[in-house]
Each structure stands twice: as C-alpha cells, then as structure tokens.
Structure 1
C-alpha cells in the first residue's frame, strides 16, 4: 500500500471511530432528552402529576423499553450512576402509573401509597440492561457499588419522604453538580433534616438509617475532631450535614449536646393532585 493509500485508510478508520463515538453520545443525549421532557412536564417540586402522566404514558413506556437492551460495558462510573438513577426513577413512575389510582390494601401505609402496590420494590421485575432486576436490587446492588451515598437521596421512591424528584434526568457530564444539589436540598427539606434547639435534637431522614453503613463508610472519618466520641452514624451525619448548614445551625451543633433521631418516613404518594392532603 502506498503512503497516500495508507493515510487515506487511517483517515477513514478515524472518521468511522469518531462517528461511532458521536452516535453513542447522541444516543445518550436522546435518552436523557426523552426523560428530561417527561420530568419537566409532569414533575413540580418533587411531586408528580400522575393522572396526566397516565394519559400520556406512551413516551414513558418507550423510554423504559429502551433500557432493556442498554449496554454498560464501556460506560464510565458517572454514566453508570446516571443510568441507574434514571432507570430507577422512571421505573417508579411506571409502577405508580400502572396502578394509578392506587387502591388501599393495608392500613400499614397511607392510602394511595406506592407501598399499597404489592412487591413494588422487592418483587416486581424489570428488564434493564439485559438483566431482570427489582427496584431494591438497583438501589442495594448496582448503585451501592459506587460508594456515594448521595445517590440514595436522589432516588424518587414515589413518596413525599424521599429525596425531591428532580424535573430533569441525571446526566454523566452534570452528575457531580446534580448530586451536590441533592445533598444540599436534603439539609433544607423538613422531610430530610430538622434542627430542634429547644429539645436539643437533630432529626434526620430514615434513609440515613436504611443506608447506615454507606454513610458511615463515606463520611464518618471526616467529622470534626470535637465530635470524635460520637457514634459512627452520628459522625457521618455531622460530616454530611455540617458543611451545608447555616452558620447559626452549626453554632447549635458545636455545643455537642444534641441527640440524633430518625424522622418517620412519609410514604404518602408524591401525587401533585393530592399534595397536602393526608
């Protein structure tokens, strides 16, 4: 092969590789755009217009169906985390829509709660990335593997007590910003964090109890030295919350006489049409 022919072949191969990369990236953008539009239209401040989404569910169903054949073999950690967060949140939406309006089956949970759907988290199987998985498996296996407990606050569990469901999809190139915002929102939401100076209590979401070891592993070793006598989960909570608190709140915390307690998790459906009704 002549020098000119070799250069032509190399140029063709490079062009093909570039086109393949552009196709892969555009596919990711298309998927994010689809979910972005669904969330932008139907989600307000973490609450969902399930009634409207049910009547316009074709795009949601198509998005979920597209996840079945997805391949994560060459995906970066940020791409994988974004993928599983989006998959989880989309599957929760579809699970609710499939049963909406939700019939009450037990007094253990609020009426219309996603928990009224039998096996919603632990039994219902979904085909994602070539695997049959439950919502619990996505949380406890695939997302837990990345050792970033902020992801557990990013899961829209179909409940008022969960982290606020965003009106946008998670994207690999924006993931750090998005998870940082999720963490900051936690400190500013009564469902996630409350400081009670009168009773000297710090009240935190039950999510910190459910994912106790994840938060301890990620944060306990970074708590300020003056709190070293505290339990591992208390150290983790302090390290997670303190940088995001107001100065006045940190001053209360600095007295180091408070108790840490868990808030009851609010399993009321995050339904925009019944927001505030209990």
Structure 2
C-alpha cells in the first residue's frame, strides 16, 4: 500500500491556497521529499487498480518537479534565459533527464507524462500536472488519493476552465481565448469531445460557444514561488 500521507503533509505545509510554493522553506527540508520519493521506486504499476495508478503517477510527477526546482533554487523560471533568450537545452533537459526509478528503469518527467499517464485516456490530468510555472494548473495543497482522485480531477477541471486567466470568452468578438495547454494536448481533449469549445462547454455554460473562434493565450513560465507573489 502506498502511503501518500507524507506528501500530503508536505503540500499542506509549503503550498498555499493559490498553488504558490514556499520553495525557500521547503528546500531546507528537502530530505523529507527525497525519502518519500525513494519509497515509490519499487512499485509495480501493473498491480495497481486504475484510480490508485492515476493518483500515484500525478503525485509522483508533481513531486519530482518540486524536487528538481529545489535542486536549482533560487531560480525565476524552469525556462532559464541568457540575455533574454530562452535556454531551450536546459529547459528540455528539465523534462527529459531521468529523475525516477520506476519498475527498474530510470525515467524522465516526459516519460511519466507522455508514455504512461496520457495513455490512461484521462485528459483531466492536464489540469493536475504542474511544471512549476504560473501558467500551469494550480498545485493542490493536498495529495491526490485513490478514493478521491476522480472528484479531485473534476474539481481541477472546473477550477482551471473557470479561471479567466486560463479560459476567457469574449462575446463581443465571439472569441475563445484558451491556455496553450489546450493546444499542446489538443488530441487528448478531442478524445473526449468533438472540439476544444465543446470540451470547455462541459464545465462552463456559454451560449453558442461551439462556433467561437479559438485563440491561445501567452504562457507564463514564471516560477510558482510564494516569494515572487506581489
């Protein structure tokens, strides 16, 4: 049985209700996170039922992101820049370097997300996985747990789509402005609905939204750090 309580306690201590992380304080106690993550390295995914696997993988992904940030903190973004030019090599390395041993294989964040989680056919994961940026979904200050993960994902989707910084419909223009998450993972959302507006309609009732033109909002890569909150 996987014990999510240590991760839950860490989130409650170091993440606020707006999903901002106290990296400075958490960094001083990073050993607790590393120890908990080490307990997940012998898990057999095939032995887990669907909701248990879903909760585990979302928690694992988010925890490894936090760990990677704390190893480099203080930073302003996981997308570093030099003289204002994004350092794409460092950015890609953040997601592609091996960070966790899963079933005797060293895997990256990208592997956890694209090769395992996305294959579960649950597009709401994109409202739960957090890459430590303001443009990401809100980081819950509680762990996902098997018994509640479906309700938690429903709440995540409702919160994300209801946030005008992520989804903004402008009726005068009949224009729908969406987070780029809907662009990057379009194929996942289209498995559940015939269009992006139709998917959004599941969580926001907007007349004639299905005929609206879709544009994508700029993505804010600033670190979701409490110390940077105005």
Which TM-score applies when normalising by structure 2?
0.90
**Number of the residue aligned with 1:242:** 201
Larger CA deviation: 117-126 vs 147-156: 117-126
Structure 2 stretches lacking a partner, 5+ long? none
**Relative CO higher for 1 or 2, CA cutoff 8 Å, sep ≥ 6?**
2
How far apart, in 2, do the equivalents of 1:275 and 1:216 lie? 35
Give the direction of change, closer, same or farther, for the CA distance of 1:59–1:188 in structure 2 (3 Å limit): same
Give the direction of change, closer, same or farther, for the CA distance of 1:199–1:116 in structure 2 (3 Å limit): farther
Deviation digits for residues 112-144 of structure 1, max 9, x if unmatched? xxx966611122432234321111111111101
How far apart, in 1, do the equivalents of 2:215 and 2:209 lie? 14
State which of 210, 218, 223 in structure 1 corresponds to 2:192. 218
Larger CA deviation: 88-97 vs 124-133: 124-133
- The yes-or-no answer on 1:53 pairing with 2:26 is yes
Give the direction of change, closer, same or farther, for the CA distance of 1:210–1:117 in structure 2 (3 Å limit): closer
Deviation digits for residues 137-187 of structure 1, max 9, x if unmatched? 111111011111101221011010111110111111101100100110112
Q: Which structure shows the bigger proportion of residues in helix conformation? A: 1
How far apart, in 1, do the equivalents of 2:117 and 2:217 lie? 24
How far apart, in 2, do the equivalents of 1:105 and 1:124 lie? 22
1:1-278 to 2 correspondences below 5 Å: 24=1, 28=2, 31-44=3-16, 45-102=18-75, 104-106=80-82, 107-109=84-86, 119-220=93-194, 235=195, 237-245=196-204, 247=205, 250-251=206-207, 253=209, 256=211, 258-276=212-230
Between Structure 1 and Structure 2, whose CA radius of gyration is higher?
A: 1
How far apart, in 2, do the equivalents of 1:203 and 1:170 lie? 29
What is the DSSP-based 3-state SS (H/G/I as helix, E as strand, rest coil) of the residue aligned with 2:215? strand
Contact 2:175 2:213 (8 Å CA) reproduced = yes
How far apart, in 1, do the equivalents of 2:92 and 2:48 lie? 33
Q: Report the alpha carbon displacement of residue 80 of structure 1 after superposing the two structures with TM.
A: 0.9
How far apart, in 2, do the equivalents of 1:64 and 1:191 lie? 32
How far apart, in 2, do the equivalents of 1:34 and 1:161 lie? 27
**Number of the residue aligned with 1:226:** none
How far apart, in 1, do the equivalents of 2:74 and 2:165 lie? 24
Which TM-score applies when normalising by structure 1?
0.75
Q: Report the alpha carbon displacement of residue 73 of structure 1 after superposing the two structures with TM.
A: 2.7
Root mean square deviation, CA, Å = 2.1
